[in-house]
Amino acid sequence: MKRTTTRSSRRRTVEDHDDSERRIKKAFKRKGWSEVKANDSWAIFKIMSEFVEGFEALQRIRPCVSVFGSARTTATSSEYALAEEIAFLLTGYGYGVITGGGPGIMEAANKGAQRGGGTSVGLNIELPFEQEPNPFIDKEKSLHFDYFFVRKVMFIKYSQGFIVLPGGFGTLDELFEALTLIQTKKIGRFPIIMVGKAYWQGLLDWIRHTMGDKHHNIHTEDLDLINVVDTAQEAVDAIDRFYSRYMLKPNF
């Protein structure tokens, strides 16, 4: 069994390498003007269609919180249970949930939102691995994207806050997108809650001491944009505490 798995892994590695080589060679291939124009025109219309579809589907949703985290988290893990509980509690405060629509943390959050009778949105991305829509998304709120940047616009535009559980590169991409937009005042200062102090502490220490204290690439107060917690109730309380100051739950 182990030998079969090893062979399969090696075969995937070779296939991935070959695919990467093809993409690199294609990028350097000289194209005629008509080919460039045709490809770019098609891409423009595809991008526009994804924006239109997303706006039409999400413009009437109730206030939602985006939940980010790893697609690789197993259903038996403590992080999965934590994400499900956070989403379930959010519905009790009147919030729906937006996720990336896939497995792992995303599935757990959609499951918790559905269990609580709240809005459950999934913004799925077409990938060659990992990503299949989970079964806990509201039927009319399961969207599919080819472009990461269009998908991230939907996360930001229709969220009242961001809860970030342990994850990988994709989770960091989503986290820093939200932080950058808030830091540069392109969007309001919506709450960003990072869940799991032990998981995130190394990153936060590096941001504070290396990026901040040593190289001065951020202001020390930029870290005030982040709230770090350990429990589901702490995460939800941080969201609700933020909006209680306004005596209302805003929507876009």
Considering the domain architecture, whether residues 119 and 171 belong to the same structural domain is answered as: yes
How many other β-carbons are positioned within 10 Å of the β-carbon of residue 181? 15
* Residue 76 belongs to domain spanning: 63-244
pTM (predicted TM-score): 0.83
pLDDT, residue 163, reads 98
Which pLDDT does position 41 carry in this prediction? 84
Is 31 inside a domain boundary? yes
C-alpha torsion angle, residues 47, 53, 54, 60 (rounded to 10) = 150
**pLDDT tens digit at each of 252 positions of the chain:** 545 556 665 665 655 666 666 666 555 566 665 665 667 788 899 999 999 999 999 998 889 999 999 999 999 999 999 999 999 999 999 999 999 999 999 999 999 999 999 999 999 998 766 567 899 999 999 999 999 999 999 999 999 999 999 999 999 999 999 999 999 999 999 999 999 999 999 999 999 999 999 999 999 899 999 999 999 999 999 999 988 776 544 443
Note whether residue 58 is domain-resident.
no
* Whether residue 129 is found in the same domain as residue 207: yes
Q: What angle do CA 80, 225, 219 make, to 5 degrees?
A: 135
Same structural domain, 25 and 105? no
Nearest by Cα to 122 from 132, 112, 137: 137
Distance (Å, rounded) from C-alpha 193 to C-alpha 67?
10
In a domain, 166, yes or no: yes
The reply to whether 178 falls in a domain is yes
Q: Are residues 37 and 159 in the same domain?
A: no
Q: Is residue 57 part of a domain?
A: no
Structure confidence at residue 72 (pLDDT): 94
Give the total number of structural domains in the chain.
Answer: 2
